Amino acid sequence: MLRRSLTRRLLATLVAGALALGVGLPATAAAAATPSPSPSASLSPAVLSAAPAANGVLRAGETLSVVATITGGSVATTATPLALSIGAAGLADDAALDRWLSGDSTGVTLQQVATGTVDAAASGAQSTTTLSTPATDPALANRAPGVYPVLVSGAGLSAPSVVVVPSEAAPQTPVAVVVPITAAPLTRGLLSASELAELTAVDGALSAQLDSVDGTSATLAVDPAIPASIRVLGSAAPPTAVSWLQRLLALPNDRFALQFGDADVAAQLAAGLAAPLAPTSLQNYMSAADFTQPAPAVSAVSSPEPSATPTPGQPAYPSLSSLVDIGDATPNIFWPATGSAGTETVAALAALGTADTPSHVLVASTSVNGGGRQAAATVGGVSTPVYDAEVSRALAAAAGQNDTTRRGASLAAAQGYLAFARAAAGAQPVLAVVDRGTDRSRVSLRATLGLLTGAPGFAPTTLRDVAALPASEVSLAAPAVDQARVSEVGDLLADEQVIDRFASILDQPELLTGRERAEILQVMSVGWTGDAARQAVSDHRAQTRTTLDSVGILSSDFRLVSSSAPLRPWVRNDLPWPVTVVLSVRTNDARLRVQERTTVEAQASANTRMEVPVEARIANGEVSVDFQLLSPTGVVIGSPQAVDVEVRAEWENIGLVVIIALIVGFLTLGVVRTVVRRRRTRAAETGSVPDADTPTDGIALKDQHADGRADADPDDIDTPLATDTPQESRP
């Protein structure tokens, strides 16, 4: 009974536990399946933009039309009523224009002239409408020339813009524009063939740049690294790139060359250089196979240098000046990065000019003390054409906009800044630049340059014409120097000097030094800014360290098996060219004598075995040997390496020779004795007695009378008789 009771209790306990587990598990699963509340995603608001028609030009008797676009944010928008308003009075100057476009409406009185509704827009989508006011509206009648604020608003959104009422009676103002022909910044020395094929395709960025300037009076600022990238490929250049180069050279536009890679001029001078750097050689980028036949890219040169007739079958390489040629260009024009040029920069660049080709330094109006905007100017007697910074900033914004409405808003703003520049210039021309940029479509660039061509009250001119005008003296404010950038330039220059010394291991050092110079210039490009610039410099310096470590010693400890066995280390060469190095070997131990200098020609991209003669002296033990590679001029190459050499001197060999000699001697003596013994045995068997005078065992018999004694009696001789009967011998 007690056992049955215990069994029942145990079963009850197990059932209760099972029930508890069965009830608890689903509850736990349900709790785990319930997700914790996730943080709400950040919401992006809708954006309203407005672009007046005709690039913001409103002539008397014309309808005021403004295109308004709502771009949906993270949440879809509903149909939105909009209102169009215009200022009762014009803005006073470009400073007031800056404030208005930034959203500050202080002192601006607006009058509503039109309303409309923009349709609903899905998240991330756009909806557009046009708000118009007829020319007969009293709000537009009798407006004096000026720049008037315009505002489109609705549903808590607003988009400020401007319209310009031009002065038709005033004489036309010359306007010149400088357009860069550049590619995106690089860390390599030149563009590759695949990059050129992409950039010069019909829809490529470089093709878009030529399309935008074709037929205009724009002055071209050409990066010479682009034509050089095409020409170094010789017959392997992409056909589209060759056509692009020929088209560039055929354009009638005035032009000047930027620094190679559009390198930062001001930073170089601030780092202590007397003149900006220039490429030294591009031989590294040329292949012999691409220049053994006429190369279309090389022949597309405006003024090729005469060269000697090449040997048949041998490559005919173009000169450096032919590679970087950009056509008929004005020399000694410099375009530092906006805001980077000061008085010292201008003075340093002035020294590079001559009486026939003086230097011209482009500076922004924001760098001029007092904000002077007169294009024809000098600083310390040096020609410094001044470009309008506000107009240029608006042009660059428009050129970088691929959205139609936003591009129109930027063009209207540029039109307003042009109007103020015209008023400030008087009879002087206005100079503008489309600053460096990479993300520019063909449509945006063409529309931007078209604004200057069709701007009311302006006539196109060139930078050359502006620089030829009588100039007024101005002073420049202290530039904003990027000390980090200047320090980086100094580091790059120091690295280049190390590379120059390292390159002495090559038969053609320019293969390496030319590549290093080209890459440094590309890394110093104006296009590199901010963190991207820091990273580009860091990456290049890391690559420089890799280059310096590309030649070294591969070796391990040695054991000398004889007194004159050579040491056989390897020379590692990761460079794509063969090198000549000298292996310096040192040891301070008298047990080993080494050849201190051994020259070797190491193959390209390979490990080359070399032999170093050594001689072990009479001693044993471990000897430390130091290896160091040098260039033929004595420059240390790579890191030193120490190896241990196990020396086993010749005592063992000498002892072995002595033992062998003794063994050979004893064996010879034994053989001789054996031969003599056998001869005696054979003689005894034949019964012959050797003559008394015959030497026995190599010892001659004595003369029996030599000691003065008489002959002995034969009977006294103790000699056995040759009989079968034994006899007793007498005493």
How much is the pLDDT for 560? 58
d(CA 7, CA 36): 46
d(CA 263, CA 185): 10
**pLDDT per residue over 236-262, tens digit each?**
999 999 999 999 999 999 999 999 999
State whether 325 and 449 are in the same domain: yes
How much is the pLDDT for 635? 94
State whether 189 and 136 are in the same domain: no
Neighbours of 337 (CB within 10 A): 21
- More confidently predicted of 31 and 410: 410
| Structural domains counted in the chain | 4
State whether 326 and 424 are in the same domain: yes
Pairing of the two strands 47-52 and 333-334: unpaired
How much is the pLDDT for 563? 59
294 domain residue, yes or no: yes
Six-digit token string for 95: 């400073």
How much is the pLDDT for 564? 62
142 domain residue, yes or no: yes
State whether 179 and 266 are in the same domain: yes
State whether 255 and 390 are in the same domain: yes
> Per-residue pLDDT averaged across 308-329, rounded?
84
21 domain residue, yes or no: no
How much is the pLDDT for 374? 87
278 domain residue, yes or no: yes
Q: Fill in the amino acid letter for 518.
A: A
Q: In Å, how far are 217, 266, 271, 486, 490 from 483, measured between CA atoms? A: 37, 11, 9, 5, 11
Q: Mean pLDDT: which of 8-17, 157-166, 647-656 is highest?
A: 157-166
Query: Is 34's pLDDT higher than 50?
Result: no
The share of the chain scoring above pLDDT 90, in percent, equals: 63
State whether 154 and 125 are in the same domain: yes
> Per-residue pLDDT averaged across 490-506, rounded?
96
**pLDDT per residue over 557-584, tens digit each?**
565 555 566 778 889 999 999 999 999 9
Query: Is 17's pLDDT higher than 50?
Result: no
The domain in which residue 673 lies consists of 655-680
State whether 119 and 242 are in the same domain: no
**pLDDT per residue over 166-175, tens digit each?**
987 888 999 9
Query: Is 3's pLDDT higher than 70?
Result: no
Average pLDDT of every residue of the chain: 84
Q: Mean pLDDT: which of 35-49, 62-76, 296-310 is highest?
A: 62-76
Query: Is 1's pLDDT higher than 60?
Result: no
State whether 372 and 284 are in the same domain: yes
**pLDDT per residue over 590-623, tens digit each?**
667 778 899 999 999 999 998 888 776 655 667 8
d(CA 524, CA 538): 12
Last residue of a domain, one of 473, 489, 509: 473
> Per-residue pLDDT averaged across 415-440, rounded?
90
Last residue of a domain, one of 113, 133, 165: 165
Query: Is 100's pLDDT higher than 90?
Result: yes
Helical residues (DSSP H) of 36-138, grouped into ranges: 94-101
Q: With bands split at pLDDT 50, 70 and 90, how would you rate the model's confidence at 512?
A: very high
> Per-residue pLDDT averaged across 665-690, rounded?
78
Q: In Å, how far are 266, 300, 302, 357, 427 from 329, measured between CA atoms? A: 22, 16, 10, 12, 28
SS (H, E, C) 189-214: CCCCHHHHHHHCCCCCHHHHHHHHHC
CATH number of the domain within which 140 lies: 2.60.40.10
Q: With bands split at pLDDT 50, 70 and 90, how would you rate the model's confidence at 698?
A: very low
The share of the chain scoring above pLDDT 70, in percent, equals: 81
Last residue of a domain, one of 473, 489, 513: 473
- More confidently predicted of 713 and 188: 188
How much is the pLDDT for 661? 80
**pLDDT per residue over 360-375, tens digit each?**
999 999 999 988 888 9
Which contiguous run of DSSP H or E holds residue 256? strand 255-257
How much is the pLDDT for 294? 66
> Per-residue pLDDT averaged across 538-563, rounded?
83
State whether 213 and 333 are in the same domain: yes
How much is the pLDDT for 575? 95
State whether 593 and 669 are in the same domain: no
Chain centroid to CA 589: how far? 47
State whether 114 and 183 are in the same domain: no
State whether 113 and 204 are in the same domain: no
502 domain residue, yes or no: no
Q: With bands split at pLDDT 50, 70 and 90, how would you rate the model's confidence at 309?
A: low
d(CA 162, CA 148): 5
| Region for residue 352 given its phi and psi (left: phi exceeds 0; alpha: psi -120 to 50; beta: otherwise) | alpha
How much is the pLDDT for 663? 87
Tell me the three state secondary structure of residue 64. strand
**pLDDT per residue over 470-496, tens digit each?**
999 999 999 988 899 999 999 999 999
